[in-house]
Structure 1
Amino acid sequence: MCRAMNRSFTNVLFGAFGQVQATVGAAGEQRAVRSATPEEAAGILQAASRVIVVPGYGMAVAQAQHKVRELYDVLMKAGVDVRFAIHPVAGRMPGHMNVLLAEANIPYDRLVEMEEVNSDFAQADVALVIGANDVTNPAARHDRNSPIYGMPILDVDKARTVMVIKRSMSPGFAGIDNELYSLDRTLMVFGDAKAVVGSLVKEFAGGA
């Protein structure tokens, strides 16, 4: 469809979805972010061929791993290639995400470590960030004044479309704003991770 229209995947999606709103960052400055409903987010997933899920502490707090497994199942059934990008310090202890995803019976070969998966984000139609914050912040690459400068991150911002499931715009453990959230290609889906992913499953399955 995108080739026929001579438009990119991102342009097609963002022409139809998302509402721009202003938010106030941790430093007090205003930033524009684009938000979407779970219904709109499900529509984006339906159009995708490759999805990389990025789990984080927010998934753990919401105990959303079993709903994430349900989403994985409906996406794979629809022919979408789904993998999970694992940052070694995501969560509150090393291996936290591996433990939670194993508990939900996500196949181990679908879990990909940071060093291996980072080169694949540019080919991903959607990077779905579920409660991960500092480990996805592009400031770690270029902002020498940032407390996370030099920290290896997941290259989420290189995906064609980024969807972030998060309760609010509050900062992560490092206490700083995440530049990812105000990028043109990013959609914020606000809400409890378990509830939002459950809504995605319902919408996606209903429209499949």
Structure 2
Amino acid sequence: MLQNNLLIVAGMLVGAAGLILTQIMCKAMNRSLGNVLFAKFGEDGGGGGGSDEYTGVTSTTAEELAPLLEAAGKVLIVPGYGLAVAQAQHKCRELGDLLEKEGAEVAYAIHPVAGRMPGHMNVLLAEADVEYDKLFDLDQINGEFSQTDVTIVLGANDVCNPAAIRDPESAIAGMPVLNVWESQTVVVIKRSLSAGYAGIKNELFEADNALMFFADAKKALEDLVTEMKEL
């Protein structure tokens, strides 16, 4: 087998691709390779982010959100692992199209490590035929949140946790994140208040301008589309 040059070259290409993806992931998390491989991420981050750690969380429903979205002039959508698990990319695109018909400007904010690997969200949204020029990475989109009426966080957690910027003792301190909290209103679609990969509390969920929509991503989007069509 080792004498098969094609297999050797193929193995080298696979290894090189894996190394490149790993480097992208480490840069996006502001972590060294050794830290990613061997450190216990979030071990001193202040707990696991269970519901008992949160106070002042404001929950909402599709019926309440529909008028808010209908009136929005600019909407940013932040997809995360929850979107992938629910296979909600097509419903996400449907909601985006509906918002545009209502006159809103819609774009998608993609964090480099959202999902299982770099580029995961790009692939899912491309599968749903979301136009590529509507996808923006962290560096391109972060300046837009302060000018956004509504940001919808779809199953993302650590990649939009303000502790990365505000708390130097946090397990994710220094990690580049999407500044979604700068939006006028943030709608977080998530099944529960459970922690993300870092295992820490997300202060975003308690923010004054944050609304928590507790539901599976696909079901939540289906309900939002239905409610908006009935307005």
Alignment-mate amino acid for residue 67 of structure 2: G
TM-aligned CA deviation for residue 85 of structure 1: 0.2
- Give the structure with the larger helix fraction: 2
The answer to whether the Cα contact below 8 Å between 1:25 and 1:31 also exists between their aligned partners in 2 is no
The alpha-carbon distance between structure 1 residues 118 and 30, as it changes in their structure 2 partners (threshold 3 A), is closer
The reply to whether residue 123 of structure 1 matches residue 132 of structure 2 is no
- 1:6 maps to which residue? none
Partner SS state of residue 31, structure 1:
coil
The one-letter amino acid paired with 1:75 is: L
Q: What amino acid sits opposite 2:207 in the alignment?
A: L
| 1:26 Cα deviation after fit | 3.5
Deviation at 1:28, TM superposition (A): 5.0
Q: Which of 121, 125, 141 does residue 101 from structure 1 map onto? A: 125
Which amino acid is the alignment partner of residue 77 of structure 1? K
Residue 200 of structure 1 aligns with which residue? Answer: 224
How large is the Cα RMSD of the aligned pairs?
Answer: 1.4
Aligned pair partner of 1:88 in 88, 104, 112: 112
Secondary structure of residue in 2 paired with 1:40 = helix
Change beyond 3 A, Cα 1:38–1:150 = same
Name 1:110's counterpart in structure 2: 134
The equivalent residue for 2:60 is: 36
When Rg is computed on C-alpha atoms for both structures, the one with the higher figure is 2
Query: Which of these residues, 51, 56, 66, is aligned with residue 80 of structure 2?
Result: 56
SS for the counterpart of 1:188 is strand
| C-alpha displacement of 1:30 | 4.1
Does the Cα contact within 8 Å between 1:85 and 1:117 map onto a contact in 2? yes
Q: How far apart are the structure 2 equivalents of 1:27 and 1:79?
A: 37
SS in 1 for 2:57: strand
CA distance 1:175–1:25, shift in 2 (3 Å): closer
Who is 2:89 aligned against? Answer: 65
> How far 1:27 sits from its partner (Å)?
9.1
1:181 pairs with 2:205: yes
Deviations, residues 114-170 of structure 1 (Å, cap 9, x unaligned): 101000000000010000100000000021221110000001000000000000000
Distance 2:222 2:127 in 1: 18
* Residues in 1 aligned to 2:159 and 2:119: alpha-carbon distance in whole angstroms: 14
Tell me which protein shows more strand as a share of its residues. 1
**Structure 1 consecutive aligned stretches of length 4 or more whose deviation exceeds 6 Å:** none
SS in structure 2 of the partner of residue 32 of structure 1: coil
% identical aligned pairs: 57
Aligned length: 184
Evaluate the alpha carbon distance shift between residue 27 and residue 67 of structure 1 in structure 2; reply closer, same or farther with a 3 A threshold. closer
Cα offset for 1:32?
1.4
Unaligned runs of 5+ in 1: 1-23
Determine if contact 1:34/1:182 at 8 Å carries over to the other structure: yes
Alignment partner for residue 171 of structure 1, among 173, 195, 206?
Answer: 195
